[in-house]
Homo-oligomer: A and B are copies of this chain.
């Protein structure tokens, strides 16, 4: 593959001049510029970004760590992250932590070794100290890592209130919330807070069952519902699920158990990702997170930090999508 020296030789100038031409720095005569551009085209010269990155200490690579690449939420999120990063000339190195702390630590080191310019953390298997040590601009999705690391999230509390109030408005009297794991610094847990407080405020009986963070397969979710949720299910007439996959699984489970939905049991989910939008039996009632805007904001905040603009937290508004399950 041709390098800058080959171009210089072919154009009959020095490498400095070639470099300056490509980067539009300083004075270059029309004449030499033309010669150089011809040489570049003729040799199909592709500037070596590795050499560039070495000198400039700027790789234009962003690391993205997610718990599960094939989960519809993260697939969609990465889709948008990639698009916005690409617009600003950044590339993304995706890492699949599988929620394994060991693997996540390895990825962190790997990204440091590759001198990624920044890091988007969507997986949260390690304690906050591990991320603070990374010495790289970071943004976090849905978790408060430290005051100097901006986070992006949907307005989980408001979403929780909306979901709960919706169930109450639909005449539910005994409510269940299936949450994610209630680790203190995960912002998704504001949904449970909102649920609890809203039920209290309206004097509604409630219960919270703590689930796992990301359950990948239908069977995982099914077993969870069968073992943890089913024994209590008939005590409730409304369930707020912390994600759409579990909401759908619950719908399937309840249907098979001859519980009529929405008449006997109403279900609200959370996310409204591709899977939910595709789904028509049932059309889930759910709280929509603006995944596109979240992706864009994560990117923007990170690149702002990298390029020395100050960055701040960002919380997005959510929206109730009323379907057929409530």
Contact = CB atoms under 8 A, between A and B. Distances in A.
Nearest to A91: B93
A92 B91 contact: no
Interface in A11-61: 44, 46-51, 53-54, 59, 61
A309 interface: no
A275 to B, nearest CB: 6
Interface in A233-282: 245, 248, 252, 274-275, 277-282
Contacts of A112: 1, 46
Contact of A245 (B95, B217, B278): B278
Contact of A114 (B50, B75, B82): B50
Contact of A113 (B49, B86, B114, B281): B49
Nearest to A82: B96
Contacts of A44: 133
A208 interface: no
A281 B278 contact: no
B46 A50 contact: no
Nearest to A75: B75
Contact of A48 (B69, B71, B113, B252): B113
Contact of A94 (B68, B71, B82, B245): B82
Interface in A113-138: 113-115, 133, 135
Contacts of A48: 54, 113, 115
B46 A54 contact: no
B280 A70 contact: no
Interface string A126-164: 000000010100000000000000000000000000000
Contacts of A217: 277
A75 B83 contact: no
Nearest to A221: B278
Given A49-B115, A69-B82, 19 more contacts: A1-B135, A46-B112, A48-B115, A49-B114, A50-B115, A69-B79, A70-B72, A70-B76, A70-B78, A72-B75, A72-B274, A75-B75, A82-B95, A86-B96, A217-B277, A218-B280, A248-B278, A275-B278, A281-B281
